[in-house]
């Protein structure tokens, strides 16, 4: 049965169609809160925009909910703490509106520089005036970009086409990113005192709220103009109005405000200020992408896959594509580890080696943890609740990284002690998918499958034949088989088998009694 996704607010039809390809869709657009809560009783997914308040009460009323999607960027209307505690992934559409928002910031800049709104209104009133609306060119001016994330970077790139010199301030952006953009990195004071135009592209946080207040605005040139198409509250609107009114600032252009909707403000009384009602994402293209992007993210989360844009999953700074490709490998060996160990260790060491060990490895550790817990818990394990559940079980996680992986371009290895016995398993990625390359100290190359048999045996003639005959008598077909020796011993060997048919506990117990079989573990990943 397909999972049910409740859509509580209008999204693009393309997003609805994406959902319907994989899910049962319940359109609950515009229903009362009580009705929405009732419909969430059996839902596994929920999609909202900004109007629906997804609080702890709503989350508690949806015991099967696995993912909440926000068709947009901001998630202020979603209780992230409650969602995280419940193991629910919260996803958004972080790139859906970036082009629209960047273009709107530039549109505001141009509108203010050339007095377009006032000139338009005057002409429509029947007055032809040119001398009143002399503006300024962007060419040759200095643009200060505060925040060089996705949108700020797009604004910087497009402003260069106008012939502007770009200054930037963002302590969280790498040197390579600065160089690639052709932006001069400066401190905030230098940017404020030097720039002819200042554009803000920051999230609203405790650190950024009121960032451009009275003191900051006092350092700005009287000929400068400020644009904000990111988040209201970053600029002190009263201080901004005072600066423009008193001639300490040439003008401003705002799309966002501290309190929205807003219909009265001192800024609205000033001719030098251009205002729009939060239109940054209001394009047909952005709305379509927001609906489609969040639908794809919800479907991916319902499949149990890691959504790289998940809001409440700590993935570090970024996830390179090559690392993302190894996530299924990492999750698989986590499950294989617990199957071989028969439980969880108190300390789990995750080693990432090779090309994938050169950058951020936290997502791979998270994937290992998810796989390991999935093998021993009846609860739904997600990338969201895996760290908390591991902490509850007293499991400490150690991460190791190396740029060198012997014999392979990249590899993920897991080891830990369970019941006084050290268990280890390593895997890489081949054209056949995740492939085990080390099991309990034995070198093998066993493609991962839903049904696997791992056997440690005496390295003597006849053992392989007895095992094959036993499985044949049971009617269990061997799809693939590999053998390997431990590098430091000649009296123990390992067999790894991909099976077409399952083994019962009784059959496994009988297999363990075969001559020469020292240990046998059946691993089911289905």
Contact (Cβ atoms closer than 8 angstroms) between residue 248 and residue 218: yes
CA 58 to CA 90: how far, in whole Å?
14
Phi and psi at residue 298, in whole multiples of 5°? -65, -45
Phi and psi at residue 130, in whole multiples of 5°? -115, -40
Whether 421 is catalytic is no
User: Which entry of 118, 158, 278, 485 is annotated as an active-site residue?
Assistant: 278
Q: Which residues face 153 on adjacent strands?
A: none
Q: Which residues face 142 on adjacent strands?
A: 165
Whether 165 is catalytic is no
What is the DSSP-derived secondary structure letter of residue 314? -
Q: What is the 3-state secondary structure (H, E, C) of 369-395?
A: HHHHHHCCCCCCCCCCCHHHHHHHCCC
Phi and psi at residue 478, in whole multiples of 5°? -95, 115
CA 314 to CA 310: how far, in whole Å?
8
Nearest to 245 by CA among 277, 268, 227: 268
Whether 335 is catalytic is no
User: Which entry of 35, 129, 260, 450 is annotated as an active-site residue?
Assistant: 260
Query: Quick one: tokens of 377?
Result: 């818990």
Strand pairing class (197-200; 184-185): unpaired
CA 487 to CA 439: how far, in whole Å?
12
User: Residue with structure tokens 């060996």?
Assistant: 333
Nearest to 481 by CA among 491, 467, 492: 467
User: Which entry of 225, 231, 355, 521 is annotated as an active-site residue?
Assistant: 231
Active site residues: 231, 260, 278
């Amino acid at each position: 049965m397909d999972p049910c996704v409740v859509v509580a607010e209008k999204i693009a039809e393309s997003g609805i169609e994406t959902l319907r390809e994989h899910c049962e869709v319940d359109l609950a657009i515009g229903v009362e809160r009580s009705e929405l809560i009732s419909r969430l009783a059996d839902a596994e997914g929920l999609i909202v925009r900004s109007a629906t308040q997804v609080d702890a009460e709503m989350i508690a009323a949806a015991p099967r909910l696995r993912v909440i999607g926000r068709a947009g960027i901001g998630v202020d209307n979603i209780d992230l703490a409650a969602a995280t505690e419940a193991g629910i992934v919260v996803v958004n559409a972080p790139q859906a509106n970036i082009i629209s928002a960047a273009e709107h910031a530039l549109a505001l800049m141009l509108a203010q520089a050339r007095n377009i709104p006032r000139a338009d209104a005057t002409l429509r009133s029947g007055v032809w005036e040119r001398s009143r609306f002399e503006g300024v060119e962007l060419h040759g001016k200095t643009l200060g970009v505060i925040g060089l994330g996705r949108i700020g970077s797009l604004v910087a790139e497009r402003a260069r086409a106008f012939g502007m010199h770009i200054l930037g301030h963002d302590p969280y952006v790498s040197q390579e990113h600065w160089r690639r953009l052709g932006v001069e990195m400066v401190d905030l004071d230098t940017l404020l005192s030097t720039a002819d135009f200042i554009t803000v592209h920051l999230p609203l946080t405790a650190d950024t709220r009121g960032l451009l207040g009275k003191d900051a605005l006092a350092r700005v040139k009287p000929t400068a103009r400020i644009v904000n198409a990111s988040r209201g509250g970053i600029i002190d609107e009263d201080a901004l109005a005072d600066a423009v009114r008193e001639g300490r600032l040439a003008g401003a252009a705002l799309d966002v405000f501290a309190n929205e909707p807003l219909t009265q403000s001192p800024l609205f009384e000033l001719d030098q200020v251009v205002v729009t009602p939060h239109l940054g994402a209001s394009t047909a293209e952005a709305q379509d992408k927001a609906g489609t992007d969040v639908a794809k993210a919800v479907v991916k989360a319902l499949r149990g896959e890691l959504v790289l844009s998940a809001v409440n999953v700590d993935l570090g700074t970024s996830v390179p594509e090559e690392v993302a490709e190894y996530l299924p490998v990492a999750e698989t060996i986590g499950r294989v580890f617990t199957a071989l160990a028969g439980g969880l260790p108190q300390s789990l060491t995750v080693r990432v080696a090779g090309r994938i060990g050169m950058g951020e490895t936290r997502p791979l550790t998270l994937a290992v943890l998810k796989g390991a817990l999935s093998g021993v818990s009846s609860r739904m394990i997600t990338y969201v609740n895996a760290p908390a559940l591991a902490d509850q079980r007293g499991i400490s996680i150690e991460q190791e990284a190396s740029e060198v992986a012997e014999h392979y371009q990249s590899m993920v290895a897991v080891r830990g002690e369970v019941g006084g016995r050290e268990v280890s398993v390593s895997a890489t990625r081949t054209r056949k998918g995740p492939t085990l390359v080390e099991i309990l100290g034995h070198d093998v190359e066993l493609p991962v499958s839903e049904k696997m048999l791992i056997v440690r045996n005496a390295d003597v003639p006849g053992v392989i034949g007895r095992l094959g005959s036993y499985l044949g008598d049971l009617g269990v077909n061997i799809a693939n088989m590999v053998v390997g020796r431990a590098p430091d011993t000649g009296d123990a060997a390992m067999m790894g088998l991909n099976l077409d048919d399952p083994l019962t506990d009784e059959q496994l117990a009988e297999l363990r009694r075969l001559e020469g079989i020292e240990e046998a573990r059946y691993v089911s990943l289905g």
